Amino acid sequence: MNDVQTTVLIVDDTPTNIQLLNSMLREQYKVKAATNGEKALKIARTEPQPDIILLDIMMPAMDGYEVCRQLKSSPLTAGIPVIFITAKTGAEDEQQGFALGAVDYVTKPFNPDIVKSRVRTHLELYAQQRILHAENKELKHRIASEFSEYIEPEIVSILQVGESDGTEFKSTLRWNLHTDKADKKIENACLKTVAAFLNSDSGVLLVGVDDNGHVLGLKQDGFANEDKLLLHWNSLIKTHLGVEFMQLIRSQINDLGGQRILLVQCLRSSKPVFFRRDNDEIFYVRTGNGTNQLKPSEVIAYLDQREDSKH
């Protein structure tokens, strides 16, 4: 990351150390300096903020530990990476620095190659974190606008249309209605459908409805209450699909014809979703009104085709 607009803040009460570090970094970065903690905090809170801070520990009035603590306690400056620069080499000092939120620890006398490498590495990581934060913020905004608040007449309309590439019905979440016993295969079937919707173009799963759209309700699932049903279902998603996809799935229990059903909305995922169970990782997609498994050799081609369809 060699960018003259990237700013490094050096905080040290010894001007010689500031000059030395400045000579190492000024060709690649814009360098600012502060000779005490109070000035450092003021600069860190002023726009444009520094992209990284090299912070001495042993300073009068306010030491580096306290400066770091104040930086990390404020939402405005908490994300700025801090590298401690110090003559202290004890393990306890290093551990205290990391405990306060520092990302690295460089000891004096300074080795130019080490200083440049550490600064470059943490600037790259910081840039990646900001990109991920922006993408996550955008994703949350999209999700908030794409999930629907289904009311009973709308669900009735879905039942009347029947199963399709974007809707599927399941009689129960985990109970075998024929044997009156819990059946893992039924959980698997529901999870496969969700994975397929995520890998395809979104969809809605209705649990407590038979294949013909007749409402059965959730009583046969045998949970003590609806909260425990949702807890169990969300645990299955986290374990077998991945916690990172939870934000693309909204599960809620709705009234329908005097019964209660589980309605699961799934949005399209930008990343491939694999169903993981019994040491297997399986890729499912939605084809017509069914869920199909792709062979490993087919997955890459499908993902490439899906990516092309977005443009």
Question: Which of these three, 94, 111, 137, is where a domain ends?
Answer: 137
Strand 259-266 to 249-256 pairing? antiparallel
Inter-residue contact 53 to 32 (CB < 8 Å): no
Q: What is the DSSP string of 229-252?
A: HHHHHHHHHHHHT-GGGGGGEEEE
Q: Are residues 99 and 53 in the same domain?
A: yes
Q: Are residues 70 and 170 in the same domain?
A: no
The count of domains in the chain is 2
> Whose CA is closest to 293, among 278, 307, 304, 280?
280
- Is the peptide bond prior to 75 cis by the omega test (within 30 degrees of 0)? no
Q: Are residues 95 and 197 in the same domain?
A: no
Within 13 Å and on the Cβ side, how many CA atoms surround 68? 26
| Domain contains 52 | yes
pLDDT of 209 reads 95
Q: Are residues 132 and 236 in the same domain?
A: no
Q: Are residues 13 and 108 in the same domain?
A: yes
* CA distance linking residue 224 with residue 2, whole number of Å: 59
Question: Which of these three, 109, 137, 165, is where a domain ends?
Answer: 137
98: phi then psi, degrees, rounded to nearest 5: -65, -35
* CA distance linking residue 79 with residue 52, whole number of Å: 9
Question: Which of these three, 137, 159, 185, is where a domain ends?
Answer: 137
Other CB atoms within a 10 A radius of the CB of residue 224 amount to: 7
Q: Are residues 219 and 289 in the same domain?
A: yes
Confirm whether pTM is higher than 0.75. Answer: no
Q: Are residues 180 and 250 in the same domain?
A: yes
Per-residue pLDDT tens listing for the chain (311 residues): 444 589 999 999 999 999 999 999 999 999 999 999 999 999 999 999 999 999 999 998 899 999 999 999 998 999 999 999 988 777 888 888 899 999 999 988 889 999 999 999 999 998 888 887 776 666 555 545 577 788 888 899 899 989 999 999 999 999 988 888 888 999 999 999 999 999 998 899 999 999 999 999 998 898 999 999 999 999 999 999 999 999 999 999 999 989 999 999 999 998 899 999 888 899 999 988 889 999 888 988 888 887 766 55
Q: Are residues 112 and 229 in the same domain?
A: no
Give the range of the structural domain holding residue 81, as residue numbers without chain letter.
Answer: 7-137
